[in-house]
Amino acid sequence: MVQGFAAILLFDFGWFREQFCIIMCPYGRFQSVLMDKHSKAVMYDEARGEPRGKAKKGSEKQYGDCVNCYKCVAVCPTGVDIRNGLQLECIACTACIDACDDIMTKLGRPKGLIRYSSEAAMQGQPSKSATPRVLAYSAAIALLCIAFTFFVSRKDSLNIQVLRAIEAPYKMVTNAQGHNVIVNHFRIHVNNHKGRDVKLISLKTSTAVEIVAPTLPMTVGSNQDAWVHFFVKAKQGSPEVFDGPKTVTAEFLEDSDKTNYRKLPYSLLGPTK
Ligand code: SF4
Ligand code: SF4
């Protein structure tokens, strides 16, 4: 486990590096789906910056504020040139904003040639926060949250499950009356997330078989799990008890005076004649 994590970290930080952000990180994918022209992101002010370049002595050509120093590209961890517009690889780290602000400060020009803004704001249009797309996605996310809460609240906080014991499927023994008896060994896994102790009292099933649960009653503490072993004894020559799945009823106390019952499926194995 530890070696596995160490190998993954070595691979990621030693070789894969920014490829993780570009190829695997879901942030850019989510961002591209949710974006519209009113969404805020790291943006280059094209109207102010273009045409980019440095004014030369004696040249009549007028340039924008971008001096084409490439500092914003050099600091970008994913190799984006934000002057070409917002790209999927941008992880909004804002390193290009800081780099460009430093250049603007040195040149005595206003900061914010690259800044957090929206496409609409860059074009001088009023920004809207509640666009139809935002409302639709908000409604979809709200529905997902409600569904998630609903299913989590319905999750059974006391999980009781019958499993067959890890050994021979059944054993043949002879009882005191000289009858052949088939014994099936089961385990009940009790996983208690109820926030209080649960006491498993007894197991009951059809009268055609006998259940022996030597460790009952058993108390399972809050946030603990436990295994309860039980044996089902059936006389050989009673095919009806081997016919299809059966249920065993577990009786347990959740509070000191409240008895609950849970029907648990199991199947018997053994010769029917
Ligand atoms: S850091 Fe600013 S001035 Fe330099 S290239 Fe990028 S946008 Fe232009
Ligand atoms: S915000 Fe970060 S990832 Fe995006 S363009 Fe700027 S430096 Fe690159």
Residue-wise pLDDT for 123-181, tens only, equals 888 877 777 877 888 899 999 999 999 988 887 788 888 898 887 888 888 887 888 88
∠ CA 140-144-145 to the nearest 5 degrees? 115
∠ CA 262-263-267 to the nearest 5 degrees? 145
Regarding the beta carbon of 66 and ligand 1, being less than 6 Å apart is answered yes
52, 69, 96, 97, best to mutate for ligand 1 pocket (most atoms within 8 Å of CB): 69
CB 226 within 8 A of CB 242: no
State the total domains in the chain. Answer: 2
Q: Is residue 170 located within the same domain as residue 96?
A: no
Q: Is residue 100 located within the same domain as residue 168?
A: no
Per the omega criterion (within 30 degrees of 0), is the bond before 239 cis?
A: no
Nearest residue (by CA) to ligand 1, atom 4, is: 69
Average pLDDT over residues 239-267: 81
Q: Is the pLDDT of residue 255 over 70?
A: no
Nearest residue (by CA) to ligand 2, atom 8, is: 76
Structural domain boundaries enclosing 66: 2-129
Regarding the beta carbon of 190 and ligand 2, being less than 6 Å apart is answered no
Q: Is 234 exposed, middle or buried (0-12, 13-18, 19+ CB in 10 A)?
A: buried
Does residue 143 lie in a domain region?
Answer: no
Q: Is residue 26 located within the same domain as residue 125?
A: yes
Does residue 141 lie in a domain region?
Answer: no
How many A from CA of 78 to the centre of ligand 1?
16
What Rg, from alpha-carbon coordinates, does the chain have? 35
Regarding the beta carbon of 72 and ligand 1, being less than 6 Å apart is answered yes
Asked which of 75, 108, 129 is the last residue of a domain, the reply is 129
Q: Which two tokens stand for residue 157?
A: 């906080």
Does residue 228 lie in a domain region?
Answer: yes
Residue-wise pLDDT for 70-83, tens only, equals 999 999 998 899 99
Share of the chain above pLDDT 70, in %: 97
The CATH number linked to 166 is 2.60.40.2310
Regarding the beta carbon of 78 and ligand 2, being less than 6 Å apart is answered yes
Q: Is the pLDDT of residue 215 over 70?
A: yes
Nearest residue (by CA) to ligand 2, atom 4, is: 90
Q: Is the pLDDT of residue 256 over 70?
A: no
Q: Is residue 168 located within the same domain as residue 116?
A: no
